[in-house]
Amino acid sequence: MDTFKALVIRRDEATKQQSMAVETLSPDALMDGDVDVRVDYSTVNYKDGLAITGKLPVVRHFPMIPGIDLAGTVTASSHAEFKPGDKVILNGWGVGEVHMGAYAQMARVKGDWLIPLPQAFTGAEAMAIGTAGYTAMLAVLALERHGIAPDRGPAVVTGATGGVGSMAVSLLAGLGYTVAAVTGRPGEAGYLKALGASEIVDRAELPAAPRLLGTERWASGVDAVGGAILANVLSMTKAEGAIAACGNVAGLELKTSVAPFILRGVSLLGINSVYQPKRQRIAAWNRLARDLDRDKLAAMTTTIGFDDIVGAANDILNGKVRGRVVVAV
């Protein structure tokens, strides 16, 4: 491409205020990389919302093209693993934060960050999954490595109507778990039950000041929100249970005690989806290809156009987004 359209965040260095506009750029404006990709699809994640609104300092290099996920077609490559015409996906690696990202018709990235688009998925489906689904699968794999299985008891999922939560509910239910879905949006009970949830837990049942040890309710779970919600979940986890934690929507602080860990043997499993090695990324995507219910994926997905990104970014921060949002770039 001689020129391409991109959503660009800039910052006034005197006032530290962000501004944003759709701009027409040349490839020379992009950062270093050994693979050029025509971006076909992206998605809107919570981190993208933070980057676009500037509510947290997600963006650490200016100017920046936001967007942490992409699916597209290689147009030029000096990387040994990729050639023009290859279909590829990218999740994380600081793209959209410190390296220009996916909300553009063209991206230039390091080939080591890319993996081939799994044959089981179209580019649109891969972005319906996106970092959210890939993270949810990493959490499921971590629980399995810890020896957790459906016969151990119910699995809890927090932030259940969000991207990670919706994917986790669907994946765990499909694997045979009895899923308790935690949400502050009781009107979405029908949506969550359609994804496979057996029980809907009102977020109000998990108070701001959790007990040191609560009533044992679940054997495992995926926490997508952090903060007091995670502290409550840990206090209510059964002996030798495990919770995979991958989000911070409810806060970065975890005000808990050692009681769940030393009196019940509960394990807290941290999930870092941004810098996973390629082999683990491919393993997660292979499991998604095997285990993900395509009908449920379609039911949780909304597709928007490029011009709708900013509105969707604000909506996701305001709790107005259900499931996954695909951007047709």
Query: What is the maximum alpha-carbon separation in the chain?
Result: 63
Please give the Cα distance from 108 to 33 (Å, whole number).
5
Is residue 55's pLDDT more than 90? no
What are the structure tokens assigned to 286, written together? 């292979």
pLDDT in the model for residue 111: 98
The third-level CATH classification (topology) of the domain covering 131-270 is: Rossmann fold (3.40.50)
Q: Per-residue pLDDT averaged across 73-92, rounded?
A: 98
Helices (H), 204-292: 227-235, 259-263, 278-291
pLDDT digits (tens, 9 = 90+) for 128-144: 999 999 999 999 999 99
Gap between the terminal Cα atoms of the chain: 15
10 Å Cβ neighbour count for 282?
14
For the record, the structure tokens of 170 come out as 């669907």
Q: How confident is the model at residue 57 (pLDDT cuts 50, 70, 90)?
A: confident
Beta carbons within 8 Å of 16's beta carbon, 6+ residues apart: none
Residue with tokens 């490595």: 145
Domain map (residue ranges) of the chain: 4-117+296-328, 131-270
The reported pLDDT for the residue numbered 1 is 77
Question: Which of 193, 188, 226, 202 is CA-nearest to residue 320?
Answer: 188
Q: Are 230 and 243 in contact (CB under 8 A)?
A: yes
Q: What is the mean pLDDT of the chain?
A: 96
Handedness of CA 129, 269, 144, 240 (dihedral sign): negative
Tokens encoding 254: 């975890």
Rg (the chain; Cα; Å): 20
Q: What is the tens place of the pLDDT at every residue in 86-132?
A: 999 999 999 999 999 999 999 999 999 999 999 999 999 999 999 99
pLDDT at 227 (0 to 100): 94
Interatomic CA distance for residues 142 and 94, integer angstroms: 22
Strand intervals (E) in 94-203: 106-109, 115-116, 155-157, 179-183, 199-202
Judge: domain 4-117+296-328, CATH 3.10.180.10: no
Please write the tens of the pLDDT for every residue from 188-208. 999 999 999 999 999 999 978
Whole-angstrom distance, CA of residue 101 vs CA of residue 105: 10
Tens digits of residue pLDDT in 16-28: 889 999 999 999 9
- Upstream peptide bond of 63 is cis (omega within 30 degrees of 0): yes
Q: CA-CA distance, 43 to 134, in Å (whole number)? A: 13
Strand partners, 200: 181
